[in-house]
Amino acid sequence: MSPAETILQLERLPASRLSSLDGRGSVLGGACFSHPALAPASSDLPFLAVDMALPPGEAAICEVWHGHEPLQSGRHGAIRYRQGDTLLYGCLSLDEAPAECGNDGPPPLQATAEAAYRSIFELLDARGYSSILRIWNYFPAINRESHGMERYRQFNIGRQDAFLARGRAVADNVPAACALGSAAGRLDIAFLATRARVISIENPRQVSAYHYPSDYGPRSPTFARAGLASLGGRDMLFISGTASIVGHQTLHHGDVAAQTRECLQNIAAVVAEASRQAPRADFRLDTLAYKVYVRHPEDVDTVRREMAQFIGSTMSTVFLQADVCRADLLVEIEASGGHAVATCCPGI
């Protein structure tokens, strides 16, 4: 099977070209990033419109996942989704509900995160999609404190409570994920799930996030460093948001170049770990598709230079401006590989 024939394909295109998308029939769904957020697509396709700025010189971008199998669309509460036999892509965007009973209840973000994840698990259980391949979380003011706690930590409580409520594991076999601060808007979540078996990958250089000590919040974040699955006969790898963390500590405070190199060392370690589990796969740093979140837009050239030095040229890299989930992290990099990648234009 040539790469173009893989069951899953990632297409990246300028947001202005979303309406002229080729091969609509194969579209599972996607996410668009712009500031301000685009109007949500009017079709029944599950597209998330995330309010996230792009660094100077970068155009608003859409990521489109294509599934090369017969697809059908559906809704479950606030979730819009599209599924085939093997893959399901869904997304939802929730207002942070104000606490119902005065100030006694959980913070609104925590309650909303729990509701979102409960709803996702209900859908996946009902439709028989046992495993999440990848989940993306975006919400504003991720580092701001409210209700006596940083909002990222509130999110971690709500997310973990939903896993526990639905009888899901909160360690070892958990999804690959990321959680980033958007510029404004709601709690936006997109996910790719599968009926295939997903192997969770950890990074030997890092303490598993689900075992972080309580210095980083009362509940550890529920995510794995990567998810690995064989889909349509090909090994595919989804690497979580990866930061300059070794052990459980942030390294290289204030040095975005060194943080970028540490992110890439971590990604290389995850790729090595995945390759050990899937020896026939040929995951290489220069064939992955990357998404890079920089806290300060002026750092993008430095990050780009470090990536070029470490990897050489990449298949596809997108840069976004986002707050990262620890105030001392300046950059976070996610990646995926094994699926086909299509880009229309240079620099995407």
Binding mask 266-305 for ligand 3EB (x = CB under 6 A): ----------------------------------------
Q: How many residues bind ligand 3EB (CB under 6 A)?
A: 12
Of 15 and 121, the one with the shorter C-beta distance to ligand 3EB is: 121
Segment 165-184, which members bind ligand 3EB (CB under 6 A)? 177-179
Q: Is 182:322 a contact under the CB 8 Å cutoff?
A: yes
Please state, in angstroms and rounded to a whole number, the distance separating the CA atoms of residues 44 and 144.
34
* Of 11, 63, 262, 332, catalytic: 332
CB of 22 to ligand 3EB, least distance (A): 31
Of 199 and 207, the one with the shorter C-beta distance to ligand 3EB is: 207
- Tell me whether the omega of the peptide bond preceding residue 107 falls within 30 degrees of 0, making it cis: no
Please state, in angstroms and rounded to a whole number, the distance separating the CA atoms of residues 274 and 278.
6
Residue 129 interacts with ligand 3EB (CB under 6 A): yes or no: no
Segment 209-248, which members bind ligand 3EB (CB under 6 A)? 209, 221, 223, 240-241, 243, 245
Annotation marks residue 332 as catalytic = yes
Cβ atoms < 10 Å from Cβ of 149: 16
Binding mask 320-339 for ligand 3EB (x = CB under 6 A): -----x--------------
CB of 330 to ligand 3EB, least distance (A): 12
Of 26 and 137, the one with the shorter C-beta distance to ligand 3EB is: 137
Place of tokens 């976004």: 320
CB of 162 to ligand 3EB, least distance (A): 13
Please state, in angstroms and rounded to a whole number, the distance separating the CA atoms of residues 111 and 155.
8
| Alpha helices per DSSP H over 83-165 | 108-127, 151-165
CB of 325 to ligand 3EB, least distance (A): 4
**Quick one: DSSP state of residue 35?**
S
Of 93 and 208, the one with the shorter C-beta distance to ligand 3EB is: 208
Instruction: Please return the burial class of 103, using the count of CB atoms within 10 Å of its CB with bins 0-12, 13-18 and 19+.
Output: exposed
Please state, in angstroms and rounded to a whole number, the distance separating the CA atoms of residues 188 and 185.
8
CB of 303 to ligand 3EB, least distance (A): 16
Of 30 and 241, the one with the shorter C-beta distance to ligand 3EB is: 241
Per-residue CA distances from 17 to 13, 262, 302, 346, 347 (Å): 7, 35, 29, 15, 15
Instruction: Please return the burial class of 298, using the count of CB atoms within 10 Å of its CB with bins 0-12, 13-18 and 19+.
Output: exposed
Which residues are catalytic, by number? 332
Return residues touching ligand 3EB (CB under 6 A). 137, 177-179, 209, 221, 223, 240-241, 243, 245, 325
